[in-house]
Structure 1
Amino acid sequence: MAAWLDEAVALLLGRGRLLLKAYPGAGKSTLFPLRLLKALPGKVLLFEPRRVAARAVAARLAENLGEPLGKTVGYRVRLEGREGPETRLLVLTEGLLLALLLEDPTLEGVSAVLLDEAHERHLEGDLALALLLKVQETLRPDLKLALLTATPDAELEALFAESLLAVEGKSHPLEVHHLEKPREGPLEPLAARYARKAFLEGEGDVLVFLPGKGEIERTRRLLQDLPAFPLHGGLPLAEQMALLRPGPRKIVLATDVAETSLTLPNVRAVVDTGLAKKPRFDPRTGLSRLVLSPIPEASARQRAGRAGRVGPGRVFRLYPKGPFPPKRPEILEVDLSREVLVALALGERLEDLPLPTKPPQGALEAAWNLLSLLGAVEGGRLTPLGQRMLRLPTHPRLARLVLEAEKEGLLPLAADLLALLEEQDPLEGEPDLLLRLEGLLEARREGRGPFWALERVAALWRRRLGAKPLETLPPPEAVGRLLLAAYPDRAAQRVAPGRYRLATGPLLRLEGDGPPHLVAVGADATRVLLAAPLAREDLLGRAQVAAWTGWEGGRLRGYLERRYGALVLERHPEDPGPPTPEHLREALKEGLPLPEEARQVLLRLRFLRAHGVPVPELREEALLQDLSWLLPWTEGVRRLEDLQNLPWKEILLSLLGEARATLERLAPEALTLPSGKRKRLRYREEAPPLLSLFLQEAFGLREAPRVLEGRVAVAVELLSPARRPVQVTQDLKGFWENHYPKVRQELMRRYPKHPWPENP
């Protein structure tokens, strides 16, 4: 083992970068950092993707040195830590590296940075890697950078292609069993059944992979007669460490933290539910939340491998054989607003950093829009407010809530709201956020209940914010005011019982009825899922005054409004004035098309242009795009009916100037029949003009009339007395001579009262 440790240290010192690919349990996170510490003068930072792993790895490193935790080896995770002035090896979660870089982009005094479990491709880990590569290239060429992983993907190998060290380890044979068909019913009874089977029928410890803390607790209750222990991030450090030491046989019920980050001794059987909770952007709350997801094949292999480290093992996969879902880096799945903010604070654009996977354009745009809405960025730059938001280890929305609470003197309330919004919801399905606050206060008073786990999170936030515990429920408007700062786009106004309009425009349903205004903290495409009341005065304080004119009930109306986004809070009538081109375009879009007589003017012009006559080209699309030509005719227009009654044909003809005479001469609107009667022509696309006549009206017309100075014969549509077409022809003479005699006999029989001369 010492050989590969020395080789890894030498490679890192020589090339400045290292991708260490080592099997689970090899010691890449518990031995390599200590060996590196001896070879370097400054501090070594080791970053773990999870809090439970950071605490456990730090404790194991300190134990390997024979020292108490907090001396040479310390740890720092979100909202807690243990370190001292002598600490040289500091284990941190990935997000805290970003905080360190914000404080000191050069990482002065740090000799090496190690990113453990880099293959998991957490967003914070990817961003940390990209920023460290940038720091190494521009500010600190002496900084050593290493990725520690059991299964690097192709993108990481490409970044570290010239400094890869693979440490091979032996593995024992595994029996892998799958379910024959997909699981039906709850997960926990099935997991408990197979855990019991593996424990009673085999040797060594049993490791059961479950998605989260709730599933672990429910499974543990089903195994009360066996030595079953939980392993997750909420455990005290002493309990975590006890599970990592050899001892009597046991069943360990773990989240995916045991997949790679922690090595458990003496595991001979694995029960794999095939599920994990992964961060995904949740449009309901505007935050990234943990959602239940099937694991990719690489994770399934990692879990199975835990059973084959010390001897032959068995794996029970609680899912059928079949294709696994593809592995996707978090950068493709989650909200990027905090990462955009961090990059900006360091003078970078997120998309320009050497990230293993480039961020999606849509997610980048959404992040910029949100940060602008929160006041964190302006003109592509970080604002002072944005800099203050970055100092808080949470999503920008919730950081903005804290800053608002600081201004309002409501930090105790902010701590509770952060716990409620960040953690798993004990009242899933209930939309009232105030009920959750009541539950949290009750848990605080009684020291138990479904909200007790959230109270521990709230206590950590109170310690961070220097706030006292909230003792009584605050006024609902105070809750709404803080939430409005974090969710300015989620303000909503009741428009009907159980129906609300969001400030961004969409309509949402709320079960039952609610207050006149609320903040829809949680929402999907159609429903309000989590909300708190909002005072109208708080919206008025943020409202903008604007004049509005538009069509309402068929009339052009004007108002002076106070609006918050799409929400009209106050409205006073105003004189709308004459319609603008936009009003006219809106009216035409709402079903007021150009009348047919106006369209005929355009078709007559097109007919002439098709035959080489140089006249202006007026296209309907262009005319409707810019309606300024119509304004001189709409001075007194206030109703849609007034628009319909405009002299459309005359208006269009007036646009032609001298070409109007050419149009009337070569493409006349109507023709005079032998009877003296005038009949309109109908001009058509890519066809000769059409003249529709009753047969009796055509008597005396020997040939089809012509336009364009005799160059084009019109098509004559001959109709029966019942207006049914008899013939359409440009050869009227041929019709009279060849077809009329037969037509005459048929029509005389049907319509005997009409004249049918032999020679028409």
Structure 2
Amino acid sequence: MVGMPQPPALPDLPIRESLPALLDAVARTGTAVLAAPPGTGKTTLAPLALAGLIDAGAADGSRYVTRDMSQRRVLVAEPRRLATRAAAARMAAILGEKPGERVGFQIRGETRRSAATRVEVVTTGVLLNRLLADPELPGVDLVVLDECHERHLETDTACAFLIESRQVLRPDLGLVAASATADVALWTGLLAADAGPAPAVASEPMRHPVAMHWVPPRERLDPPDGLRVDPRFLGHVSHIVDRALDADDGDVLVFLPGAAEIRRVADQLRHLDADIYQLHGSVSPAEQDRAMRAGDRRRVVLATAIAESSLTVPGVRIVVDAGLARRPVVDHARGLPGLTTTPASRAAADQRAGRAGREGPGAVWRCWSEAEHLRRAAQPVPDVAAADLTAFRLQAACWGTPVAELALPGPPPAGAVEAAEATLQALGAIDDDGAATDRGRVLARAGLHPRLARALVDGAARVGSVKAAEVAALLGLDKRGRGDDLLAQWRQLRASRDRQWEREVKRLSRTVPATDRHVGDDEAAATVVALAFPERIAKRSGGQWLTVGGTGAVCAEGSPLAGSEWLAIADASRNPGRAAAQVRAGVPIDGGLAREIAGERREERVAWDRERRDVAARSVRMVGAIEDASEPLRDPDPALVGAALLDGLREEGLDVLKWTDAARRTRERMAFCHREIGDQWPDVSDAALLASPDWLEPWWSRARRRRDLERIEAGAALRNLVPWSEDLERTAPVRLRLDNGSETAVDYATGWPVVSMKLQLFFGAAAIPRIGGVQVRAHLLDPAGRPLAVTSDLASFWQGSYLQVRKEMRGRYPKHPWPEDPASAAPTAWTNRRLRGG
């Protein structure tokens, strides 16, 4: 075509051998899985070839051009912003251009593209927003999902949406999954069509020898805890960087888990005769560009996992690997997706090591032992298995396909999906059937976590669109500095004119209607934070705060938040072994505003007060788990009173009732009947009587306080339990009559019927009767009422033990009768003299 620029020569990278096969696969099936290790050129040369912007020459030197190749527009999706910009810059440089011409990019808050753009690199978040806005992706002929092997949640989601769009709306839309590892079967199966699995195209890695050094710390260090990494370990990494520079030639690429660790190690390496660069999402684009260019001096580039596969840093011959990675988790403290520090998998470590051998022989220094390496996980855990799924669930709801029917590389955990749905329903983003509401679609378009989107949308109407966007951008980008005063950090961001934050503020301001409210910064910050995290609104309670969600929270000593009665907490962390969370970012909030946002309710609080030892009835104003205010309740619900009284009865025990001696004896007799006769007699143990108060009717239903319980006659209540078909007096009599005419009380206290009388009153009795089929025990007493003997067989006693008793007692009590034949003597309570009438 006249006037068209000639395709430049292909750079000498391993991917060039695979490009003809890739183009052929896409031309035949519309899909392909490109398996190419880091550094082979898959991120840059493959998209340019697919768009027809470079000469994809075949192995035999012939040109390879597909029909309509010159018109194809390619969209490349990268999981990270930094990689998005870098890939676009590299592809534009290959074409001899700047980003925004035939190669453009779009990340959150920044766009470089034009009418001439044929390859556009975007983050997967941007791609998802475009798909939700228009599933047909007009103007796009082919999508490349890069770094699929990393299993980022947004990449998995975009893949599922694109597969469905190809099946239903755009069968002509090309789809290439690019992976740096050998999980090819997973992706060829996902991209399969009627003709079978998608074609797989592989590229060989650079093959330069790499020397491996295992250099674990000599001392025992604390393992990573959440986002905390032992400072001594970072000192060890710095030391290894120094050693590696002395031992080997070339620039050094250092892998660290996050920006905080990168900044600390950078400070420790200032003494080196080398240029120190940082590569992470928070550094400016200009600084990122400088880190990617070789200079006159040796370089030490400190990078996160961005440099594993998404980004190639030229000039690197040495890799120092801290062996740590940041993985997503559900951050229950923040209510947002969070990160935790874990050992990097063996697959990730291998990809990092490959960076040392890309341009020539290299060296890798691993800051852990070879034995530990063998114990590490082979592959990283996919995001979908561990991350917060709230944003994913809202995207699926807006897409309109049930989660179970999406063509995901792996199923999400059911519990995590349910938790996400509960959050979205609370935000009004999905209905009871799980479908997206109009409000949910508005929140999804904001490009924020649904919690922050809710705070932006609702906050704009309350505090104005600009201030709502500023606070939401602060929370979303996590631009917090030192200290826990979020309001001060917001003002510091304004003063420093942070460019990334300002771009995000402009983007967010465009997503909500422009509004202006005369609201101070303090109220604006409190409102937006409280809207995002209503369950973490907190009120002072003693020496700490209690949140709406029921968690305790404390501030650091000397915190400017310490004097606040109410707080809106944006971030908190709980260390192991501590009951209360540590406030990391918060702002004071007015109590009225807190109640309005969190919602308040009135409760009738009727309970047994342990201190007063009585029923306490109050009307309580609750803000979530916070008891905000209370007043006496004059006419409490009788059911609640009854429940409180039962708690009190169980707390105080049955002794709170009125127990006479007769009542206690009645209970003992009934217990005997239950045990010895059967279940037709009720169980009158403490546990049974405390299980239900029904036996205390009709007095129980009229009771309102402790003194009412104290008036209940326990004996009368117990008689309510006697079965109508039974006679307690007949079954367990109070008194027992012997066959000699003597009569005495029966004691059931021990669980066994016992009678006690002076021995002389048993004279003439042949046997001890039974009660309820149980042989009564007789306690035979001397004239002074002291025990002489215990027997259940009176006849045997007369014939045996009595002879010894008579011999001893005649000398001690000579005035009392001690006949030789007690079985035939008359019972008596008198002495011999009284018997003779003396």
**TM bracket (short chain):** 0.7 to 0.9
Tell me which of 538, 548, 559 is aligned to 2:618: 559
Matched, 1:418 2:472: yes
Tell me which of 45, 68, 87 is aligned to 1:31: 45
Tell me which of 515, 532, 548 is aligned to 1:503: 548
1:259 deviation in Å?
0.8
In the alignment, the residues of structure 2 paired with residue 278 and residue 427 of structure 1 have an alpha-carbon distance, to the nearest angstrom, of 22
* CA deviation vs aligned residue, 1:615-671 (integer Å, no higher than 9, x gap): 899999999787678675433312245346545665576467xx4333748964867
Q: How does 1:44-443 map to 2 (within 5 A)?
A: 44-153=74-183, 156=186, 159=190, 162-163=197-198, 164-181=200-217, 185-221=231-267, 222-223=269-270, 225-237=273-285, 240-241=288-289, 243-244=291-292, 248=296, 249-321=298-370, 322-323=372-373, 324-326=375-377, 327-350=380-403, 352-379=405-432, 380-423=434-477, 427=481, 430-443=483-496
Cα gap change, 1:81/1:555 in structure 2, threshold over 3 Å: closer, same or farther? Answer: same
1:535 matched to which residue of 2?
590
Q: TM-score, normalised by structure 1?
A: 0.82
In the alignment, the residues of structure 2 paired with residue 305 and residue 719 of structure 1 have an alpha-carbon distance, to the nearest angstrom, of 100
Cα gap change, 1:510/1:2 in structure 2, threshold over 3 Å: closer, same or farther? Answer: closer
* CA deviation vs aligned residue, 1:79-112 (integer Å, no higher than 9, x gap): 2221223433221112222212221233344333
Counterpart residue type for residue 211 of structure 1: P
For the 8 Å contact 1:546–1:560, the answer to whether it is kept is yes
For the 8 Å contact 1:540–1:569, the answer to whether it is kept is no
For the 8 Å contact 2:755–2:776, the answer to whether it is kept is no
Counterpart residue type for residue 292 of structure 1: T
Q: How does 1:628-707 map to 2 (within 5 A)?
A: 632-643=698-709, 646-647=712-713, 651=717, 654=720, 659-662=723-726, 664=728, 668=732, 672=736, 674=738, 676-679=743-746, 681=748, 690-691=752-753, 700=762, 706=770
Cα gap change, 1:599/1:74 in structure 2, threshold over 3 Å: closer, same or farther? Answer: farther
In the alignment, the residues of structure 2 paired with residue 281 and residue 245 of structure 1 have an alpha-carbon distance, to the nearest angstrom, of 37
In the alignment, the residues of structure 1 paired with residue 384 and residue 128 of structure 2 have an alpha-carbon distance, to the nearest angstrom, of 16
In the alignment, the residues of structure 1 paired with residue 625 and residue 467 of structure 2 have an alpha-carbon distance, to the nearest angstrom, of 29
Q: How does 1:15-26 map to 2 (within 5 A)?
A: 15-26=29-40
For the 8 Å contact 1:23–1:168, the answer to whether it is kept is yes
1:301 deviation in Å?
1.0
Counterpart residue type for residue 592 of structure 2: E
SS of residue paired to 1:376: coil
Cα gap change, 1:120/1:692 in structure 2, threshold over 3 Å: closer, same or farther? Answer: farther
1:368 deviation in Å?
2.7
For the 8 Å contact 1:175–1:313, the answer to whether it is kept is yes
In the alignment, the residues of structure 2 paired with residue 136 and residue 756 of structure 1 have an alpha-carbon distance, to the nearest angstrom, of 116
Counterpart residue type for residue 329 of structure 1: P
2:638 matched to which residue of 1?
578
In the alignment, the residues of structure 1 paired with residue 817 and residue 320 of structure 2 have an alpha-carbon distance, to the nearest angstrom, of 97
Cα gap change, 1:620/1:59 in structure 2, threshold over 3 Å: closer, same or farther? Answer: farther
SS of residue paired to 2:447: coil
For the 8 Å contact 1:116–1:147, the answer to whether it is kept is yes
Counterpart residue type for residue 23 of structure 1: P
In the alignment, the residues of structure 2 paired with residue 135 and residue 560 of structure 1 have an alpha-carbon distance, to the nearest angstrom, of 56
In the alignment, the residues of structure 2 paired with residue 13 and residue 592 of structure 1 have an alpha-carbon distance, to the nearest angstrom, of 84
In the alignment, the residues of structure 2 paired with residue 565 and residue 119 of structure 1 have an alpha-carbon distance, to the nearest angstrom, of 43
SS of residue paired to 2:141: strand
1:400 deviation in Å?
1.7
Counterpart residue type for residue 332 of structure 2: P
Counterpart residue type for residue 418 of structure 1: A
SS of residue paired to 1:110: coil
For the 8 Å contact 2:615–2:645, the answer to whether it is kept is no
In the alignment, the residues of structure 2 paired with residue 698 and residue 300 of structure 1 have an alpha-carbon distance, to the nearest angstrom, of 99
Cα gap change, 1:630/1:234 in structure 2, threshold over 3 Å: closer, same or farther? Answer: same
In the alignment, the residues of structure 1 paired with residue 104 and residue 728 of structure 2 have an alpha-carbon distance, to the nearest angstrom, of 94
Counterpart residue type for residue 578 of structure 1: P
SS of residue paired to 1:382: coil
SS of residue paired to 1:331: helix
* CA deviation vs aligned residue, 1:3-30 (integer Å, no higher than 9, x gap): 5222233334444543322121222221
* Unaligned 5+ runs, structure 2: 1-14, 53-65, 222-230, 658-663, 824-838
In the alignment, the residues of structure 1 paired with residue 553 and residue 140 of structure 2 have an alpha-carbon distance, to the nearest angstrom, of 52
In the alignment, the residues of structure 2 paired with residue 743 and residue 388 of structure 1 have an alpha-carbon distance, to the nearest angstrom, of 103
Counterpart residue type for residue 254 of structure 2: V
1:482 matched to which residue of 2?
528
* CA deviation vs aligned residue, 1:663-705 (integer Å, no higher than 9, x gap): 748964867465644445479xxxxx63366697999597776
SS of residue paired to 1:660: coil
Counterpart residue type for residue 594 of structure 2: L
* CA deviation vs aligned residue, 1:205-253 (integer Å, no higher than 9, x gap): 2211123334334444424531333323344545545554666553322
SS of residue paired to 1:662: coil
For the 8 Å contact 2:753–2:771, the answer to whether it is kept is no
In the alignment, the residues of structure 2 paired with residue 584 and residue 296 of structure 1 have an alpha-carbon distance, to the nearest angstrom, of 59
1:69 deviation in Å?
1.9
Identity %: 32
1:502 deviation in Å?
1.8
In the alignment, the residues of structure 2 paired with residue 719 and residue 181 of structure 1 have an alpha-carbon distance, to the nearest angstrom, of 85
Cα gap change, 1:681/1:75 in structure 2, threshold over 3 Å: closer, same or farther? Answer: farther
In the alignment, the residues of structure 1 paired with residue 265 and residue 468 of structure 2 have an alpha-carbon distance, to the nearest angstrom, of 34
Larger Rg computed on CA atoms: 2
Moved more, 731-740 or 317-326: 731-740
SS of residue paired to 1:504: coil
For the 8 Å contact 2:212–2:365, the answer to whether it is kept is yes
Counterpart residue type for residue 273 of structure 2: D
1:449 matched to which residue of 2?
none
In the alignment, the residues of structure 1 paired with residue 490 and residue 685 of structure 2 have an alpha-carbon distance, to the nearest angstrom, of 63
Cα gap change, 1:463/1:387 in structure 2, threshold over 3 Å: closer, same or farther? Answer: closer
Cα gap change, 1:345/1:195 in structure 2, threshold over 3 Å: closer, same or farther? Answer: same
Counterpart residue type for residue 6 of structure 1: P
1:8 matched to which residue of 2?
22
Counterpart residue type for residue 375 of structure 1: G
Matched, 1:549 2:594: no
For the 8 Å contact 1:584–1:627, the answer to whether it is kept is no
Matched, 1:461 2:497: no
1:346 deviation in Å?
1.8
In the alignment, the residues of structure 2 paired with residue 647 and residue 5 of structure 1 have an alpha-carbon distance, to the nearest angstrom, of 96
1:261 deviation in Å?
0.5
Q: Aligned residues, how many?
A: 728
Moved more, 529-538 or 691-700: 691-700
1:686 matched to which residue of 2?
none
1:752 deviation in Å?
11
For the 8 Å contact 2:39–2:205, the answer to whether it is kept is no
1:282 deviation in Å?
2.3
In the alignment, the residues of structure 2 paired with residue 517 and residue 704 of structure 1 have an alpha-carbon distance, to the nearest angstrom, of 78
Cα gap change, 1:756/1:64 in structure 2, threshold over 3 Å: closer, same or farther? Answer: farther
1:447 matched to which residue of 2?
none
